[in-house]
Amino acid sequence: MFLVVDQAAGFVSLDCGGKDNFTDELGLVWTPDSQIIYGEATNISVANETRKQYMTLRYFPADSRKYCYTLEVTSRTRYLVRATFLYGNFDNNNVYPKFDISLGATHWATIVISDAYTIEVEELIFLATNPTISVCLSNATTGLPFISTLELRKFNGSIYLTQFENQFFLSVSARINFGADNEDPIRFPDDPYDRIWESDSLKKANYLVDVAAGTEKVSTRMPIDVSLGERPPQKVMQTAVVGRNGSLTYRLNLDGFPGFGWAFTYFAEIEDLGPFDTRKFRLVLPDMPDVSKATVNIQENAQGKYRLYEPGYENISFPFVLSFRFGKTIDSTMGPLLNAMEINKYVKKSDGSLDGSVIAGVASLFSSADWAKEGGDPCLPVPWSWVQCNSDAQPRIVSIKLSRQNLMGSIPSDLTKLSGLVELWLDGNSLSGEIPDFTGCTNLKIMHLENNQLTGDLPSSLVNLPNLRELYVQNNMLSGTVPSGLLNKNLVLNYAGNINIRKGSSRGSQNKIIIGSTVGASVLLIATIASYLLMHKGKKKYPKRDQLEHGMSTQRLVFSLGKSATEAAHCFTLSELEDATKNFEKKIGSGGFGVVYYGKLKDGKEIAVKVLTSNSYQGKREFSNEVTFFTNLLSPSIFFPASCIC
């Protein structure tokens, strides 16, 4: 993502892959996109192309992600955004790339490169509804996505106002300057909005062919009043074509069509007509008899010579190949005249994901992290790398995976607003504070908060999540009592490593609790056999006291060897364990990360005490695995109340 401030003139010109600011021959100021954190910049060399902005580009991996540029705009203002692509065989593969470009959540166009040395141009006219926009590249089917330039141009007033602008963008398909005396386009500074008006003299495939005999170019140096409507530049209106034989005919391919579009023609009478001359004509569209404008009389319609008249259609259906004709009426002495034409296709705006603003608020809390800079809509057209979404037309976020991303601070409260959330992975970070109320996330099934620094109680609100099946909160600093409702749910629950947490009563629970626990007669049998085999071996070895007192890095597993499998939890002091084991006299087992000792309490109950002696993460994990083993070894119907060391 690259954030650039909206310039005072309303122009932003990014030289993608460039390194320095510069001003081009038109007077446009270009800035490099050097602050973007994604992609690679490279230089290219193309014969006959000397413009500096096309000597570099930025390319991106052909993966499942999208790569976005984010630009600041003024809300409720219309803009033109232009992206250009000059391949130049930058990757030395001669594989012509094909990929998508989108504006926010809306698919804008598919970029298909068919020539290494031709610049592909895409333009979109839109009404800004937010303070920023994102232009994103994604979904490469061949080659690598890349971009040469990205430009933003601000419009004034009601230019390009349509009744559909809240639901549709306008994708520019054709903008033509008729009567041009060379192949060069007209743009800034002649057009104050820097629209590119292509010359009708330009030679390219299926562009303005089938020209009628008698077509002639005309021009004037007289000033043209273009103060109305879309305001094409005066230089465009000072040239035109005239059908001396009574007709103007053309055929051209319309990029993006078939579909519905916006089409306007621009006329200005720039010839001196005799006192008895008239110029009247009609537009004829083959196979579209119902689409017919009234007779055009330019001088009369514009209320004078050298004045703009711009009839058009705000909603018309066009094919991909458009053939059109202007023909003079019977009572006209002069053939038709045409100065310019503009055709745009309507692109349906996507409403975006329902959780877009919520998850954007979460990302803003970690704005310095790379994962928070992906830009665009979190779900469309492709999701962020750490997000999964459902397939609804307006998607919802169903999974967030931010494991081991060095997150600090409290768990963002906005996460509790994601009503479609199914999985939440925040494990392995440095999150602190209390676990917020996730009652609104009724679809939540899997919740991983382990290996953080969370404090406070395990919220009773978690009981109200009807679909919760896995809850991992081990190795935090939680305290209080585990809500009995969690113990009675069909739930995989792990809260080991929270030394101040206690387990409440759990009548008839069926859940598997992965935590240091007291167990029943099955473990008694195992421990008794192990004790008998080991107690007669060599000299006794005692654990050092500082091994038992190094705080949270030492964990202990206490198994009750009594007859009951459902007795209440008990918190042991270190001195009680020392008395029960006679200062850890009888070693009855050992593993890679801990030693098991035999002991007997004052009431005669036999216990086995395991002391975790490794401070490593691996040691803690192995310890948890052993507990899980003993849990699974026994019948899942047996309940294991927790014990702890105080």
- The secondary structure of the chain in percent helix, strand, coil, rounded to multiples of 5, reads 15, 35, 50
Amino acid at site 520: G
Q: What one-character-per-residue DSSP string does 366-404 give?
A: TTTSGGGG--S-SSSSS--TTEEE-SSSS--EEEEE-TT
* Dist. CA 287–CA 184, nearest whole Å: 33
Residues 6+ apart with CB under 8 A from 158: none
* Dist. CA 12–CA 6, nearest whole Å: 7
Strand duo 281-284 + 198-199: pairing: unpaired
Residue 533 per-residue DSSP state: H
343, burial (CB in 10 Å: exposed 0-12, middle 13-18, buried 19+):
buried
- Kind and range of the H or E run holding 438: none
Residue 350 per-residue DSSP state: P
Sign of CA dihedral 298, 301, 305, 311: negative
Give Cα separations from 603 to 25, 379, 576, 599 (angstroms).
95, 61, 12, 12
* Residues forming beta bridges with residue 620, ordered by sequence position: none
Could you write out the three-class secondary structure of 24-70? Answer: CCCCCEEEECCCCCCCEEEECCCCCCCCHHHCEEEECCCCCCCEEEE
Query: Is residue 203 a known part of a binding site?
Result: no
Q: How many helices (H) and strands (E) does the chain have?
A: 8, 43
3-state DSSP assignment of residue 200: coil
3-state DSSP assignment of residue 105: coil
CA 437 to chain centre: 27
The first and second tokens of residue 247, run together, are 């007709």
The first and second tokens of residue 116, run together, are 């290494």
* Dist. CA 351–CA 359, nearest whole Å: 15
* Residues forming beta bridges with residue 219, ordered by sequence position: 239
Long-range contacts of 563-567 (CB under 8 A, 24+ apart): 563/520, 563/521, 563/524, 564/520, 565/519, 565/520, 565/521, 565/638, 565/639, 565/640, 566/520, 566/638, 566/639, 566/641, 567/518, 567/641
Residue owning tokens 């992290």: 369
* Dist. CA 49–CA 88, nearest whole Å: 10
Q: Choose among 553, 563, 554, 538: nearest CA to 609.
A: 554
**Structural contact between residues 536 and 598, judged by C-beta atoms closer than 8 angstroms:** no
Binding residues: 610
> Which residues are annotated as part of the binding site for ATP?
610
